[in-house]
Amino acid sequence: MGRRGAVGSNVLRKDGAGKVNGRALYLDDLSFPGMLHARTIRSTIPAGTITRVTPRVATREFIVVDHRDIPGRNVVALIDDDQPCLAEKRIRHVAEPILVLAHEDRETLLGATVDIEYRQTTPNYDPLRSDVTFKQIAIDKGHVADGFARADLIVDGEYRTRHQEQLYIEPNGVIAVPDGHGGVIVYGSLQCPYYVHRALKVLLGLPDERVRVIQTETGGGFGGKEEYPSMIAGHAALAAIKSGRPVKLVYDRVEDMLATTKRHPSIVRHRTGVTKDGRLTAIEIDATFDGGAYATLSAVVLSRGLIHASGPYRCDHVKIRGRATMTNTPPNGAFRGFGAPQTQFAAEVHMDRIADALGIDPVRLRELNAFRPGDITATGQTLGKDCSALTVLREAVKRTDFRKRRKALKGTGRGIGLALFFHGSGFTGSGEVKLASRATLQLTERGARILVGSTEIGQGTRTMLAQIVADTLGVSYDAVDVNDADTGVVPDSGPTVASRTCLIVGRLLQRAAAEMRERLGDLSPSQYLKKHGPLVVTTQYEKPEKVSWDDTTYRGDAYESYGWGCDVAEVQIDPVTSQAIPVAFTTVHEIGRAIHPGLARGQIEGGSAQGIGWALLEEVVIRDGRMVNSSLTNYIIPTTLDTPPIEVQIVDNPYPQGPFGAKGVGEMPIDGPAPAIINAIRHAGVDIREIPASPERIQACASR
Amino acid sequence: MRFTLNGKRTRVDVHPLARLLDVLREELHLTGTKEGCGEGECGACTVLIDGHPVNACLVPAAHAEGAEVTTIEGLRAHPLQHAFVEHGGAQCGICTPGMILAAVALGPKPSRKAMQAGLAGNLCRCTGYSAIYRSIEKARPARKRKRR
Amino acid sequence: MPVTIRHRALLSPRSLKDALRLRHEEPDAMPLAGCTDIYVALNFGTLPARGFLNLWTLDALRGIDVLDGVVRIGALTTYTALIQSPIVARHLPMLVAASREVGGPQIQHRGTIGGNVANASPAGDTLPVLAVAQAVVELHSVRGLRLVPFTDFYTGYRTSAAAPDELIVALHVPTPQGRQWFRKVGTRAAQAISKIVIAGVGGRQPRIAFGSVAPTVVRLPQTERVLASGGTILEAQQQMQSEISPIDDVRSTAAYRRQVAANLLDEFWRATGPGSARAARGR
Ligand SMILES: Cc1cc2nc3c(=O)[nH]c(=O)nc-3n(C[C@H](O)[C@H](O)[C@H](O)COP(=O)(O)OP(=O)(O)OC[C@H]3O[C@@H](n4cnc5c(N)ncnc54)[C@H](O)[C@@H]3O)c2cc1C
Ligand code: FES
Ligand code: FES
């Protein structure tokens, strides 16, 4: 290629300038002539039925929307379609939307009241005692009974994780604008424009072309803007259609925390057979995820959770059972990691307990059992050369001088712990085949324009995709533009989730760019345009040949490829306050190859910090089904002073089928911090098996 | 109210109790100042008043009377701005205007410790802060910056 | 969220005298200092006040000076000003320590000590400091000036001895004899509300106060007496439990607060009690 390519270098991010000079427009920065503001009226009870709704507003001034205003089906269309957009009678959780009010003056809107009477029923908050199971999954490999028969020792354990709020700093918001032909244009802070597009078509009973969804600059998502924007967009769209005017619906922080999705709480039980010298002979796992009041994405969160539940370890006999059940709390949903952080937390804390039970070093235990290329996973997938579990483990141990440190710290009130983990790139199982994503490349005077439904939410989508296209097409990075994620223009590239954008959409664009390059021949873009006219190339997902999956038996290649990581955390336990202070954190990641090392590092640092928050600080306090700490004052995320220095090492192992060797990176960083920290706390002398490891819990554990 | 906004004398007719944040965003259409919480916790609304970082969501218009207010729009090619792009200090960007203004108030070449203390009132959920420190450490005056 | 302000009014006095007159005429108008508590309440929609009285422009409420070992701190003094004041650093290092741990820089630039006192939250971080320093609150009204000992200032949960027409104008803080001690245990390392906070003055006649363990900040006179009379730390810790009454809330638990209060007492006494250095060396 001659000149230095964009891939592998830290080019300036496409959206950087607007973000540092204040000109980038986020949803709340937009305004339309004649725009109304909307507000959602929500249930105040966790379970029961609505008996009467009385808006205390001047009806001529206000737009009041309820379920009777829904022209299509009253559902937030996703997987099971069990969640109403506006409750009719049944209430299943606190903060369930019942009415939408709109008015042009925000103060008047805020002053409006609605009386709602209910008949209450008994709520259930215990996922283990639920009557409703949204999804059950069984994964079997070999026969655990045989495995246990071969074991010298059996170790049991139960591990719990709780809700976590995504806490993007920009709260959710949308603006719906009537298109003048009975349809709507929706602007929003969101991750998946085509999810919203589909949900609105179902809700409003409209054809494809009457719904247009445009992503605005999005101030963080982390999964929290994956499915929930479909709900908000529905509310704003209904009000826009009823009023014939643009309607803005922006949540304040309290509402955003009270009503929107969180990470699924989990209860995971392990029973593991192991030989004296530390080989795993049988793994039996039972996991329950608290789905909250509606199914939303629980089925797929559970699926990813269970596939990662036995950790990156070889074992001939594995039995995994899991379910997501209903409770009367707001629905839980997508959050970076999508079930895998919960189950790998359990797996990795359990590994350290096995090591303790055997009296062997936790590194040795993992070295013995870590997946190698050629090993077979719980679902029967044979791992290829892209398996780097041992590499990352050894690198992390070496960089932190783990064994020596562990000895040195014994009995000092400090502890050091590690966690080994993996994360599948892309949708689970046959998900990518069903999605059949598309990506489009359009030739421009200077280069090309990318048209994809994938969204930039801070992770660097625009930049990374442009790098792939630039180098494949043989033009400079600056000559590649990225279109807004606007369903009126871009094809459906699938949702921006599941660490899939680089691997799946990046590869689609790489193919499109390669084809475009061939068509160009010796011509420059502008020469080509002059001579032949416009050139547009669209590619669609093609399943790599070797990948196969059976949804009914849950066997096969769960993911095309996995990333690998190992975290080492050091904590200091304050004897006076029982606070566990993270003092050092090292993480080693193998993600194939980093298209943009700076962005990849940013993902790893940010994900690690979020994981550290989950491990130590972040707790959703729920009383009577209601989050009682729904403010930034009381839901505690790490500040600068709570975040340790994070050492990042990225190990290269280019994945031949990935674009320029890349796999996914977005989610994996949050899998490791919690178990690494809990293992460090264990090493410092406190056997805690639940997060967050708040000082209150540590103290209670220590005094037991 | 009358005040100096980004170096320009400004007069705007607002309720004296209006939040400075709303005055800037809604009356003066300077939307670079963001709202992440409205409760003084996140720092996304940070502006400088007489050179000091404050949360615009907690300042009534009456308290900015006669003051010198600097918002992100008032920085013109400040070395920190380019550094935040180059070194990963901005990801989703919603915390960035407030973060940059809080960093401006730290003065040149702050130590790690000074950065941690000085930015403790600015929450960032994307970066884990490391890249923000790197951006500040590497910010150089525009003249000396090498072109890439 | 856009806060509702249209039906609220702001009174803007030009002088302290003017302010006292307005306070007298409209006692329901809420004094407005740095607004770091008031605007949070406004944001959450939990503030009923319709009128406000702007103190921010009253320079008579600013300034720090010292006379005969008593530091006089104007009510509008911000945390930043406290941190930067050489007088406070010399006489009241525990107040500097407390101020450094309030919120973050943005809050420190606006929040005032008068607001902290008037707000009367049991978690206010300067309150234990003022309690152990035996501060006096200087209150003004059209009726004149009144000096109220800080330890008599609070009458219950978020209620105080200040009359509806009074303003806090200053705090008089005598320099304590003995080593000053402050420690905050917050929900996180910055931008944190105290789960428990202690200030103490060491020596033979120790003084100890806790925040966030009772409806108001509390001095521990009986515990102090146990220590002063040569009791063991264990005895003092036991005594202390009867002088505090922590609760479970969204931030912590009563059990945790009791245990940590005992630990903090121990830590305080090891560091500042008579023979503390020897005790520390012996361990
Ligand atoms: C993000 C954040 C973090 C915080 N962190 C802390 C912390 O760590 N520790 C802590 O203690 N506090 C903290 N606070 C609370 C607050 O900052 C302090 O209580 C501050 O001292 C209040 O002062 P102010 O001047 O802002 O008071 P304002 O909000 O202006 O007023 C508070 C109350 O005091 C009254 N008042 C004020 N001045 C007078 C006066 N002179 N005479 C009579 N009444 C008066 C007002 O009428 C009002 O009732 C935090 C607040 C926020 C938003
Ligand atoms: S919006 Fe002002 S601090 Fe969050
Ligand atoms: S860059 Fe997203 S919150 Fe800081």
| Interval A135-173: pLDDT, tens | 999 999 999 999 999 999 999 999 999 999 999 999 999
- Tell me the pLDDT of chain A averaged across its residues: 97
CA C46 remoteness from chain centre: 23
Nearest to C256 among A252, A639, A695 (CB): A695
CATH number of C180-277: 3.30.70.20, 2.60.40.1080, 3.30.390.50, 3.30.450.20?
Answer: 3.30.390.50
Q: Give whole-number Cα distances, C149 to C142, C200, C212, C243, in Å.
A: 20, 17, 20, 20
Q: Residue B75: CB within 6 Å of ligand 2?
A: no
Residues enclosing ligand 1, CB less than 6 A? B 40-41; C 30-38, 40, 55, 75, 102-103, 107, 110-112, 114-116, 118-119, 124-125, 167-168, 191-192
Task: State which fold the A16-26+437-540 domain adopts.
Answer: Aldehyde Oxidoreductase; domain 4 (3.30.365)
| ipTM surpasses cut 0.85 | yes
Q: Which CATH superfamily is domain B2-74 in?
A: Beta-grasp domain (3.10.20.30)
Query: According to CATH, where is 1.10.150.120 located in chain B?
Result: 79-138
Q: How confident is the model at residue A703 (pLDDT cuts 50, 70, 90)?
A: confident
- Tell me the pLDDT of chain B averaged across its residues: 95
Compute the distance between CA of residue A614 and CA of residue B40 in angstroms, rounded to an integer: 22
**Around Cβ C219, how many Cβ atoms within 10 Å?**
19
Nearest ligand to the C-alpha of residue B25? 2
Q: List, as one string, the DSSP characters of A367-390.
A: HHHB--TT-B-TT-PBP-TT--HH
- pLDDT at residue C282, rounded to an integer: 34
Task: State which fold the B79-138 domain adopts.
Answer: DNA polymerase; domain 1 (1.10.150)
Compute the distance between CA of residue A100 and CA of residue A239 in angstroms, rounded to an integer: 7
- pLDDT at residue B143, rounded to an integer: 53
Query: According to CATH, where is 3.30.465.10 located in chain C?
Result: 62-174
Residue A84 has pLDDT above 80, yes or no: yes
Query: According to CATH, where is 3.10.20.30 located in chain B?
Result: 2-74
Pairing label, strands A266-274, A184-188: unpaired
pTM of the full structure: 0.97
Place of tokens 């205003």: A69
Compute the distance between CA of residue B86 and CA of residue B131 in angstroms, rounded to an integer: 10
Mutate to test the pocket of ligand 3, among B35, B84, B91 (most ligand atoms within 8 A of CB): B91
In chain B, which residues touch C (CB < 8 A)?
A: 15-19, 22, 38-41, 43, 46, 49, 52-55, 57-60, 62-63, 102, 105, 117-123
Residue B21 neighbours by CB under 8 Å, 6+ apart: B33, B35, B45, B56, B57, B59
For the CA of B38, the nearest atom of ligand 2: 1
Task: State which fold the A133-164+262-428+556-702 domain adopts.
Answer: Aldehyde Oxidoreductase; domain 4 (3.30.365)
- pLDDT at residue A59, rounded to an integer: 79
Span A39-65, mean pLDDT? Answer: 95
CATH number of C62-174: 3.30.465.10, 3.40.30.10, 1.20.950.20, 3.30.70.360?
Answer: 3.30.465.10
Query: According to CATH, where is 3.30.365.10 located in chain A?
Result: 16-26+437-540, 31-122+167-259, 133-164+262-428+556-702
Which of A642, A696, A697 would best serve as a mutation to test chain C binding (most C beta carbons within 10 A)?
Answer: A696
Span A571-600, mean pLDDT? Answer: 97
- pLDDT at residue A499, rounded to an integer: 87
Compute the distance between CA of residue A469 and CA of residue A515 in angstroms, rounded to an integer: 11
- Tokens representing residue A151 in the block: 């074991």
Residue A62 has pLDDT above 60, yes or no: yes
Mutate to test the pocket of ligand 1, among C11, C102, C198, C251 (most ligand atoms within 8 A of CB): C102
Distance from CA of C190 to the nearest CA of B (A): 6
**Around Cβ A279, how many Cβ atoms within 10 Å?**
17
Could you tell me if A675 and A349 are in contact, meaning their C-beta atoms sit under 8 angstroms apart?
yes
The DSSP bridge partners found for residue B54 are B47
Compute the distance between CA of residue A127 and CA of residue B28 in angstroms, rounded to an integer: 50
Residue B142 has pLDDT above 90, yes or no: no
Residue A704 has pLDDT above 80, yes or no: no
- pLDDT at residue B146, rounded to an integer: 45
Q: Which CATH architecture has domain C9-54?
A: 2-Layer Sandwich (3.30)
Residue A681 has pLDDT above 70, yes or no: yes
Residue A3 has pLDDT above 80, yes or no: no
Nearest to C109 among B15, B39, B52 (CB): B52
Q: Is the dihedral of CA A478, A484, A490, A494 positive or negative?
A: positive
Distance from CA of B55 to the nearest CA of A (A): 14
Which tens digit of pLDDT belongs to each residue from A321-360? 999 999 999 999 999 999 999 999 999 999 999 999 999 9
Which tens digit of pLDDT belongs to each residue from B54-110? 999 999 999 999 999 999 999 999 999 999 999 999 999 999 999 999 999 999 999
- pLDDT at residue A546, rounded to an integer: 84
Q: Residue B108: CB within 6 Å of ligand 2?
A: no
Compute the distance between CA of residue A344 and CA of residue A363 in angstroms, rounded to an integer: 16
> Which chain C residue has the Cα nearest residue A106?
C2
Q: Give whole-number Cα distances, A89 to A48, A124, A331, C144, in Å.
A: 8, 18, 18, 62
Per mean pLDDT, which range of A2-11, A82-91, A397-406, B53-62 is the poorest? Answer: A2-11
- pLDDT at residue A164, rounded to an integer: 98
Residue A29 has pLDDT above 80, yes or no: yes
Nearest to B53 among C39, C109, C190 (CB): C109
Pairing label, strands A646-651, A555-556: unpaired
Residue A414 has pLDDT above 80, yes or no: yes
Name residues of chain C where pLDDT drops below 70: 1-2, 275, 277-283
Compute the distance between CA of residue C67 and CA of residue B74 in angstroms, rounded to an integer: 44
Compute the distance between CA of residue A5 and CA of residue A109 in angstroms, rounded to an integer: 54
Question: How many helical (H) and strand (E) elements, i.e. helices and strands, does chain C have?
Answer: 12, 14
Q: How confident is the model at residue A92 (pLDDT cuts 50, 70, 90)?
A: very high
- pLDDT at residue A596, rounded to an integer: 97
Query: According to CATH, where is 3.30.390.50 located in chain C?
Result: 180-277
Q: Which CATH architecture has domain A31-122+167-259?
A: 2-Layer Sandwich (3.30)
